[in-house]
Amino acid sequence: MKHRQFISILFISLLSNGFLIETGLAFSLVSLIGLGISGILTGGFYRYLSWILLGLMISILGILLFGYVVFSLIYLDGFHGLTALIDLFQQRYQTPMIWHEFIQTEWIGLLIAISALA
């Protein structure tokens, strides 16, 4: 019973402090991963769809990392590892200009990946 109370208090505090988008994204990602894993454990057509779903999620993660590498080489003067990516996510409200440059680089990386597939 205490775990349910903690989770409900945590969820309410996240929503009331303005983390609606982050909470929604986290819930969506966990749900998609859970659906993918449960689909793989079943058989037939659901297993096929689950492999496609997990493959798309891994591809999107690869595109995100590609965009980060390009961003760090252009704006940060060298690759600083994934800890700098975590610092960038934490600093997005303090320095919005570098966050906008990161998002712009991610979109360009996504367009390059889509054009490479086409």
Sequence ranges of the domains in the chain: 1-41, 54-118
Mutual angle of helices 20-41 and 2-16, in 10-degree steps: 130
Confidence of residue 1 (pLDDT cuts 50, 70, 90): low
Question: Considering Cα of 94, then 86, then 28, then 61, what sign does the dihedral take?
Answer: positive
Question: d(Cα 100, Cα 95) in Å, to the nearest integer?
Answer: 9
User: Over the stretch 25-56, which tens digit does the pLDDT of each residue have?
Assistant: 888 888 888 888 888 888 888 888 889 988 98
Complete DSSP assignment for 39-78:
HHHS-THHHHHHHHHHHHHHHHHHHHHHHHHHHHHHHSSS
State residue 2's pLDDT score. 67
- The pTM for the full model equals 0.69
pLDDT at 105 over 60: yes
Question: d(Cα 11, Cα 23) in Å, to the nearest integer?
Answer: 8
